C-alpha cells in the first residue's frame, strides 16, 4: 500500500500507531503481509515491555480467543523518504526519533479493527448504511463473547484492570470483539498481596474504577472502618470534587483527575445534555451508603469482593456506552435497549453490595435478552451451557425469564476535547450529531428520560436520585445524623 494511504490511527505517550504497518529492516517471515498489520513505533525498552504483556496473556489464552495474539518486534526501516514523511505525522515521537533513531523499535500487531470509541465516533454510521438489522444483531451476539471473557479472566485468576471503550477492538469484517492493552493486568493474588502491604498503586479514585478501589489498601480500609468522622469527610470531599468541582482535599485522597469522572457519566448516558448534579450526587451517595455496610466485613472478604467487581464494572459501562451509540443511530429496538441497559446497569451499579459479579448469572440474563428480543431467532442461533449453537432457539414460552431493573438514562452534554484526551491519547474526533425528539409535559410535571413518561415534579426540599426518584436533600447535619448509627 502506498504512503498516501498510510494513516496514523493514534498516538499516545509511548507510541505512534500506523496503518498499514511501517516496514522492518528484515521481513518478519517470508509470507508476512504488512497490509494486515498495524505498527506501533516506540522506544525499544517500552516495546519490549509491551511485548512481555502479550506473552503473558498468551499463556492464559493460547488460541487467541480473547486477544489478538503476540505481536512481532523489529527495528524500523527508516531509509525510504516516504517513511520519514509518515513518521512526521507523529507529533510526539518524531522529534525524539530524529535525535536517537537507534533507540526505537516497531511492534507489529494484527489489525483488530477500531476501538469502540473510534468505532462509535467514526465508523458506525457507514457500517450501518446497509443490512443494519443483521449487522446490529451480529454485533450484539458477539458481545456475549466479551461477557464470557470476564469468566476467562476469573477462571485464570487475572484482573485486566483497564476495561473501557478504548481497550476493546471491533473487527467489522470478521464481527470479532477483542480485548487489548494489558499493561495494568495483574493476577488476583498480586492485587491481594500488594493491597495488604499498602503497595497497590492502583488503589485510587480513578474515573473508570469502582469507587471502592480507592480504599483497597489495608491502612485506608482500617482508617475508614474505624473512624466515623473520616467516613463522613471522605464522602463529602470526594463527592464535592467529582460533582461540584471543589478542590478541597483535606482527606488526602488519591484522585488524580476529579473532572475526568465526567467521562464515566458521558459513557453511561445518552450524550447531548448535561446530567443533573443531583443525579450524580445520588449515584455516589448510594455508593457510599453501600460501602458503609461492606466495610463491616473482615478485610479479606471486603477485598475479595472489590477485586471481583473491577472488570465487571469496566465492561458494564463500556457496553452501556456502545449501546447508547447504537441507540442514537436507531440500530436497536426500544425493547432491546431497555432490557440491555438494565443488565449492564447491574454490572456498574454504584452499590457494591448490589453489583452483580456472578458471570454465569450475567451470561444467562444476556442470553434471555437475545432470545426475548428476537436476535437469536433472526440469526437462527441458540445457546447450550452458555455456548453458541447453530440451531433455532426454543419458543419464547419456555425460555428463562429474569426480572430486569430499570436504570437511569439521563442525557449528557458533549465532552470537551480536553476531556476526550483524558480518556485516551487518540486524536480528538468529530462528535456524532444526534437528533432527539423531546416529549412535552404539563407545567406541573417533568419528563423521566428513562421511561419517556411525564412524572410529578419533586416537592420543596427534594431532589432526584440516580433512579430518578424524589428524595430529601441532604445537609451536613442531616448526613451526620443519618450516619450516627454507623459510628464505631
Give the residue carrying C-alpha cell 484482573.
159
pLDDT tens digits, 282-339: 999 999 999 999 999 999 999 999 999 999 999 999 999 999 999 999 999 999 999 9
**pLDDT band for position 427 (cuts 50, 70, 90):** very low
pLDDT tens digits, 103-159: 999 999 999 999 999 999 999 999 999 999 999 999 999 999 999 999 999 999 999
Q: Which of 314, 218, 302, 336 is nearest to 268 (CA)?
A: 314
In the chain, CATH 3.30.200 covers 3-111
Q: Which residues have a Cβ under 8 Å from the Cβ of 341 and sit 6 or more positions away?
A: 320, 323, 407, 409
Cis bond before residue 20 (omega within 30° of 0): yes
Domain 3-111 has CATH 2.60.40: no
Rounded mean pLDDT, 347-370:
96
pLDDT of residue 97: 85
pLDDT of residue 12: 76
Q: How far is CA 288 from the centre of its chain?
A: 21
- The percentage of the chain sitting over the pLDDT mark of 70, rounded to a whole number, equals 84
pLDDT tens digits, 462-478: 777 766 778 776 544 44
Amino acid at each position: 500500500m502506498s504512503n498516501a494511504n498510510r494513516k496514523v490511527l493514534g498516538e499516545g505517550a509511548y507510541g505512534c500507531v500506523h496503518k498499514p504497518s511501517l516496514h522492518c529492516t528484515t521481513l518478519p517471515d517470508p509470507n508476512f503481509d504488512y497490509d494486515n498489520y498495524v505498527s506501533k513505533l516506540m522506544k525499544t525498552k517500552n516495546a519490549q515491555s509491551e511485548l512481555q504483556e502479550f506473552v503473558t496473556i498468551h499463556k492464559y489464552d493460547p488460541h487467541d480467543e480473547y486477544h489478538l495474539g503476540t505481536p512481532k518486534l523489529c527495528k524500523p526501516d527508516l531509509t525510504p523518504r516516504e517513511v520519514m514523511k509518515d513518521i512526521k505525522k507523529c507529533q510526539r515521537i518524531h522529534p525524539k526519533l530524529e535525535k536517537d533513531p537507534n533507540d526505537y523499535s516497531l511492534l507489529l500487531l494484527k489489525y483488530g479493527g477500531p476501538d469502540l470509541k473510534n468505532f462509535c465516533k467514526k465508523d458506525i454510521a457507514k457500517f450501518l448504511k446497509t443490512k443494519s438489522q443483521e449487522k446490529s444483531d451480529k454485533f450484539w451476539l458477539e458481545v456475549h463473547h466479551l461477557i464470557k471473557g470476564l469468566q476467562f479472566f476469573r477462571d485464570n485468576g487475572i484482573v485486566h484492570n483497564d476495561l473501557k471503550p478504548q481497550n476493546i477492538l471491533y473487527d467489522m469484517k470478521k464481527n470479532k470483539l477483542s480485548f487489548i492493552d494489558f499493561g495494568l493486568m495483574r493476577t488476583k493474588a498480586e492485587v491481594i498481596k500488594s493491597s495488604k502491604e499498602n503497595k497497590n498503586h492502583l488503589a485510587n479514585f480513578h474515573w473508570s474504577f469502582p469507587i471502592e478501589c480507592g480504599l483497597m489498601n489495608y491502612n485506608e480500609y482500617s482508617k475508614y472502618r474505624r473512624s466515623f468522622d473520616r467516613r463522613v469527610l471522605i464522602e463529602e470531599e470526594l463527592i464535592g470534587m467529582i460533582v461540584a468541582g471543589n478542590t478541597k482535599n483535606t482527606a488526602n485522597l488519591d484522585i488524580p483527575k476529579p473532572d475526568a469522572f465526567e467521562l464515566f457519566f458521558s459513557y453511561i448516558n445518552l450524550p447531548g445534555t448535561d446530567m443533573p448534579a443531583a443525579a450524580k450526587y445520588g449515584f455516589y451517595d448510594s455508593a457510599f451508603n453501600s460501602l458503609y455496610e461492606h466495610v463491616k466485613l473482615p478485610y479479606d472478604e471486603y477485598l475479595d469482593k472489590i477485586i471481583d467487581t473491577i472488570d465487571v464494572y469496566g465492561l458494564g459501562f463500556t457496553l452501556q456506552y456502545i449501546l447508547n451509540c447504537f441507540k442514537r443511530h436507531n440500530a436497536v429496538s426500544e425493547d432491546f435497549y431497555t432490557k440491555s441497559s438494565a443488565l449492564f446497569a447491574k454490572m456498574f451499579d454504584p452499590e457494591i453490595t448490589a453489583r452483580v459479579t456472578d458471570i454465569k448469572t450475567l451470561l444467562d440474563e444476556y442470553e434471555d435478552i437475545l432470545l426475548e428480543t428476537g436476535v437469536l431467532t433472526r440469526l437462527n442461533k441458540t445457546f447450550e451451557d452458555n455456548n453458541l449453537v447453530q440451531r433455532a432457539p426454543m419458543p419464547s414460552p419456555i425460555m428463562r425469564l429474569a426480572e430486569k431493573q430499570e436504570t437511569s438514562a439521563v442525557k449528557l452534554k458533549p465532552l470537551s476535547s480536553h476531556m476526550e484526551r483524558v480518556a485516551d491519547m487518540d486524536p480528538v474526533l468529530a462528535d456524532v450529531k444526534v437528533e432527539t425528539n423531546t416529549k412535552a409535559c404539563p407545567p406541573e410535571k417533568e419528563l423521566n428520560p428513562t421511561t419517556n413518561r411525564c412524572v410529578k415534579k419533586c416537592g420543596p426540599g427534594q431532589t432526584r436520585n440516580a433512579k430518578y426518584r424524589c428524595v430529601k436533600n441532604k445537609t451536613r447535619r442531616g448526613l451526620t445524623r443519618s450516619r450516627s448509627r454507623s459510628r464505631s
